[in-house]
Amino acid sequence: MKLISWNIDSINAAVEHKSARGEMTWSVLNNIAEATPDVFAIQETKLKATGLTKKQANAIAELFPDYHVFVNPSLARSGYSGTMVLSRQEPLSVDFPKIDAPGDMDMEGRVITLEFANFYVSTVYTPNSGSELARLDDRGLWDDQYRRYISSLDQKKPVIFSGDMNVAHEEIDLKNPKTNHHSAGFTDQEREKFTTLLGAGFTDTLRTLNPDVPSIYTWWAQISKTSKINNSGWRIDYYLVSNRIADKVTQSTVLDTGKRQDHAPIQLEIDLL
């Protein structure tokens, strides 16, 4: 079973591909389609509150024919956040859960969960703590509620979940840990919450397969023209699985996006089907 997850940073920018970066995004999306994943999870769709436009839906259908498409747009602020999942197999059920998160977070389309016969597949777009850590406290409450939600699924059947989790867990997971110690995504609180999530019964698949390998990143800042060239990045996108199926993971990797900065897709291969 092959799964791919990607913070695309705007479905519309990919579909329109009118800029150089849009062209690169469209190219990556086409490469993912050619890989024919069993499940493709997308974060930060930035769709309108009404979901996919006709043009966007047609473009996705042409790239991913015969896939079941599930969209969770932000209702709190149109064109913001949002998630989407494409599945070759029709799931038993689909949930767009509310996890009793603070503020508008539950209305920002941040989670989709697909139920299959023997496992769940879920994706998440974790809220960023924001400039000057303005949302750090709310982010901490989100982390607690999200952990409770994923743990509740895990009590029923194993879970595979992925997404932009907006945290670099350990110093090995970013290029410059010392200068970013108090930056959003690398505060002590965010890292401790991620440790607690793993401690609730889940495995970080990429790090388990590559325990001491440095310089594996999934995000490079667009604001810096040399971040990708110098591989000055962060690993903030993850595939996590329930501990009891961790031994079934055969591969967990970051897909190459060439010169494109921002997030790269991640891929998981697991022997479950």
Q: Where are the beta strands (DSSP E) in the chain?
A: 2-7, 39-43, 68-72, 83-87, 93-95, 111-115, 120-125, 159-164, 202-204, 219-220, 237-242, 249-254, 262-263, 266-270
Tell me the sheet residues that pair with 3: 39, 268
CA-based nearest residue to 95, from 152, 52, 140, 28: 152
Of the candidates 106, 164, 173, 204, the residue annotated as catalytic is 164
Q: Is residue 125 flagged as an active site residue?
A: yes
CA-based nearest residue to 165, from 111, 138, 127: 127
Of the candidates 120, 125, 149, 217, the residue annotated as catalytic is 125
Q: Is residue 164 flagged as an active site residue?
A: yes
Return d(Cα 103, Cα 119) in angstroms, integer. Answer: 30
Tell me the sheet residues that pair with 94: 114
Return d(Cα 102, Cα 111) in angstroms, integer. Answer: 15
Contact 8, 30 (CB under 8 A): no
Distance of CA 155 to the CA centre of its chain: 22
**And the tokens for 52?**
């996919």
Return d(Cα 9, Cα 25) in angstroms, integer. Answer: 9
Question: Known catalytic residues?
Answer: 125, 164
